[in-house]
Amino acid sequence: MHDDRPTFVMVLPACRGRAIGDNAIRRAEAIADWFSPVIISDSFPDHIPKAVRTIKFTPPRFNYLRRFCHVPNELGFAVAAGGVLVNLASRERVAFVLCHGYTLAWIAGRWVRRRTKTPFGMFMHGHIFERPKGMYDSRVTAFYRTIAPTCYRESNLVFALSPAQADLAVLAGADTANVVVAPNGLEGMDIGLVSAASERGMSSFTPGTPCRLLYVGRLAIEKGVEVLLHACCELVERGVAFSLRVVGAGGLERDLRTLSRRLDLGHCVDFVGSVSRRELGDFYLQSDILCVPSLTEALGNVVLEGMIAGCVVVGSNTGGIPSMVLDGETGMLVPPGDSRALADALCRAISRPDWLRTASRAAISKVTSEFSWPSIGITIKNAVYGLQ
């Protein structure tokens, strides 16, 4: 590290206890050779790497507005964060400010650039206008629809998680030259693996044994778990031997449990509930195929997690998933929302144990070579240096 490193600031709400926060911290670590990374948030995990500085502040909260509090809370956070940013930029040589989300870019990013001439960018966790209908309140969608074009157009850089997200950013108004693909990275230890190539169970991909399917993620509309359950019903009708573990929780849990009972899947589908990220490694190692039936997906950390543990991914051909899963090589891709196509792909995979072993090795190799945090740090560094 160099003492004359300029400051690189990331701003995001609720850094504690969220995958977004964990990834922001890892991203900050990855650029520490070239910048002095600072994260501004209203909460942090107990343990922060020494290379990363933190600034905690308390934004105004409007929870008393109940179901109408989302936008006021975002605005309050962005205004308060903007003040912290301007104060920091007046004291230090800030090279760049990375805002996580539309509202922060619209208020805090533009404010700090106007006051201090510090360039800012926006990190895309997703693109709200590709999300399934009903995922967001219509008033929230209308608010984002109003501010998003300005954010894409005025950001000095837009960091997208996948090539598909980069294309959406350009369609939304971003200059192609300002859009940078910088996915999340992953190391085996993040999910409790000793190494990326940890030994799998002896029963993995063994002909004649029930195939062990796994779903990991929120139980929400956009994740397509209902599609997966209908695909499982197809597998039962075709006489395919399998089991499915559903790891995660969410607003649709009760409805999905009811659907599982209605489809008479109780003997082969187990709803596990939420587990810590450090426990996920064992679930992946004890599974053969990771099912990712998302209707939309910016990137999908679970895809990388499954691949690094040697799971073969059968997932939707949408969003960032095709940038990780090579159809026929590291997994299989199917049209989103199509339970019959998902069942067909699972049948093909289950009937080819030799291919499963080959795809498992290829998946591990792809993640370790293309999705390491050091390489992502270099991508971010080159993009910011290019602004100078």
Helix (H), strand (E), coil (C) string for 28-74: HHHCCCCCEEEEEECCCCCCCCCCCEEEECCCCCCHHHHHHCHHHHH
pLDDT of 232: 98
Q: What percent of the chain has pLDDT over 90?
A: 80
Residue 187's pLDDT band (cuts 50, 70, 90): confident
Average pLDDT over residues 104-129: 90
CATH 3.30.43.10 correct for 189-370? no
- pLDDT > 90? residue 97: yes
pLDDT of 344: 98
- pLDDT > 80? residue 139: no
Residue 207's pLDDT band (cuts 50, 70, 90): confident
Distances (CA, A) of 313 to 2, 291, 352: 41, 6, 14
Among the listed ranges 173-187, 199-213, 351-365, which one has the minimum average pLDDT value?
A: 199-213
Collapsed DSSP state (helix, strand, coil) of residue 242: strand
pLDDT of 223: 95
Q: Where are the domains of the chain?
A: 7-185+372-385, 189-370
pLDDT of 219: 96
| Range among 68-72, 113-117, 194-198 rated most confident | 113-117
* Fold equal for 7-185+372-385 and 189-370: yes
Cα–Cα nearest to 20, from 37, 41, 38: 41
| CATH of span 7-185+372-385 | 3.40.50.2000
b/e code 332-351 from CB counts within 10 Å (16+ = b)? bbbebbbbebbbbbbbebbe
pLDDT in tens, 305-325: 999 999 999 999 998 899 999
pLDDT of 278: 86
pLDDT of 75: 96
Average pLDDT over residues 189-197: 76
pLDDT in tens, 10-52: 999 999 988 889 999 999 999 999 999 999 999 999 999 999 9
b/e code 208-247 from CB counts within 10 Å (16+ = b)? eeebbbbbbbbbbbbbbbbbbbbbbbbbbeeebebbbbbb
Average pLDDT value over all residues in the chain = 92
Contacts of 169 (CB under 8 A, 6+ apart): 124, 127, 152, 158, 160, 179
Among the listed ranges 298-302, 359-363, 370-374, which one has the minimum average pLDDT value?
A: 298-302
Collapsed DSSP state (helix, strand, coil) of residue 267: coil
Residue 154's pLDDT band (cuts 50, 70, 90): very high
- DSSP 8-state symbol, 275: -
